[in-house]
Amino acid sequence: PDFNFHVERRMKAVGVPVVHYVGPSVWAWREKRLHKIRRFVDGVLLLFPFEPPIYERYAIPAAFVGHPLARLVPMEPDRVGARQRLGFAADQSVTALLPGSRQGEVERMFPTYMEAVPLLRQVYPTMQFVVPAASDALAGWMQSQLAQWGSGFPVEIVTGSGAAADCLQAADQAVVFSGTATLEAALYKCPMIITAKVHPLTYWIARRLVKVPWVGLPNVLAGQEVVPELIQDEARANRIAIKLGQLVLDQSRRRRQLAAFNNIHGQLRQPSGARAVAAMQAWGVLP
């Protein structure tokens, strides 16, 4: 964002109208950045419905235009097709594990997720697990970690374009590292628990700067905790197994999540182009 703002400042200085698409996450932290931003934008097009009032407090024209992912993901997930592509039977119990997309995230969470697998299998002996890998390099690293668990360990690593989408559509439930993947899981209507674990110093700083009480986008969008969050020391194998087990057994928890996910999808699934044009016309940027 900082590079974009530098370019926008230069464009504004020579009289070019500037509209910024996808604002920084000032709803989470560093809201005071908007004092600077308002000097060089004519308006901001935003992904989430709760964002415009924040920008408008700083006299920045702002409009919610919807999230592109919500238009790409169908309202009804293709569970049958995803299971066929991944080789799972229709009646098989499947859990997706999404430990992150960056090397540091995966190295931090993947071993913990694997420790939770035998705990869950003690209670659900036929449960299978699937893990999408964001790259071949990460897939190779995860496969090397799986080797220590021996042959027959019920975890499959999936690579390639659309791996995360297939895993979330095929799964009955998921464990998801905080980030955009939590929104993707919600859009694919996959009941989940959210984990988050960072360096202790990073967490100490974040606790003092971050304003929202949740790390997961589904909870932020719902305005309440509909998805359990296991943060830092809570994000350990036995707690993951307990929380996921509750989600497997308690249909009311699942229904509550699915109702929230459907509402979120409906909110974010907007005719973004038309909304953007209407906003820019209202701001005088377009005729």
Convert the pLDDT of each residue in 176-186 to its tens digit: 999 999 999 99
CA pair distance 282, 287, nearest whole angstrom: 9
**Residue with the larger pLDDT of the pair 214 and 119:** 119
Q: Which pLDDT does position 23 carry in this prediction?
A: 86
Whether residue 117 is found in the same domain as residue 194: yes
Say whether 173 sits in a helix, a strand or coil.
Answer: strand
Q: Does 119 reside within a domain?
A: yes
CA distance 101 to 133: 7
Would you say 254 and 43 are in contact if contact means Cβ atoms under 8 Å apart?
no
Claim to verify: residue 260 and residue 274 sit in the same structural domain: no
Lowest mean pLDDT among 11-15, 56-60, 79-83, 224-228: 11-15
Residue range 99-117: mean pLDDT, rounded? 95
Residue 72: inside a domain, yes or no? Answer: no
Examine the pLDDT at 25 and tell me if it is beyond 90.
Answer: no
Domain annotation covers residue 74: no
Which pLDDT does position 15 carry in this prediction?
86
Number of domains in the chain: 2
Q: In the structure, what pLDDT confidence band is assigned to residue 36 with cuts at 50, 70 and 90?
A: confident
Query: Helix 103-123 vs helix 237-249: angle between axes, to the nearest 10 degrees?
Result: 60
| pLDDT score recorded for residue 88 | 97
Confidence grade of residue 1 (pLDDT, cut at 50, 70, 90): low
Q: 287 lies in a domain?
A: no
* Strand residues in the chain grouped as ranges (E): 19-21, 43-46, 62-64, 94-98, 128-132, 155-158, 173-177, 192-196, 229-231
Find all residues with CB under 8 Å of 168, minimum gap 6, and list them: 77, 96, 98, 174, 184, 185, 188, 190
Question: Is 15 among the domain residues?
Answer: yes
User: What is the average pLDDT score of the chain?
Assistant: 93
Structure tokens at 251: 């249909």
For the segment 208-235, what is each residue's pLDDT rounded down to a tens digit?
667 778 899 999 999 999 999 999 999 9
pLDDT for 87 beyond 90: yes
What pLDDT, on the 0 to 100 scale, is given for residue 284? Answer: 92
Structure pTM?
Answer: 0.92
Q: Do 208 and 96 fall into the same domain?
A: yes
Same domain (yes/no): 95, 51: no
Give me the mean pLDDT over the 15-20 stretch.
90
pLDDT number for residue 6: 79
Q: What is the layout of strands, in order, in the sheet containing 173-177?
A: 155-158, 128-132, 94-98, 173-177, 192-196, 229-231
Q: Contact at 8 Å (CB) between 78 and 169? A: yes
DSSP 38-95: TTS-SEEEESSTTSHHHHHTTT--EEE---HHHHHS-SS--HHHHHHHHT--TT--EE
Whether 263 and 276 share a structural domain? no
Does one domain contain both 149 and 250?
yes
Pair (89, 121) in one structural domain: yes
CATH number for the domain that contains residue 149: 3.40.50.2000
Question: 149 and 209 in one domain?
Answer: yes
In a domain, 125, yes or no: yes
Same domain, 97 and 31: no
Considering the domain architecture, whether residues 159 and 33 belong to the same structural domain is answered as no
Q: Say whether both 181 and 236 belong to one domain.
A: yes
Residue range of the domain that includes 45: 2-66+270-282
d(CA 80, CA 89): 9
Inside any domain, residue 100: yes
Give yes or no: residues 103 and 31 share one domain: no
Structure tokens that stand for 260 in this block = 């929230």
Q: Report which of 236, 227, 242, 229 is spatially closest to residue 195, judged by C-alpha positions.
A: 229
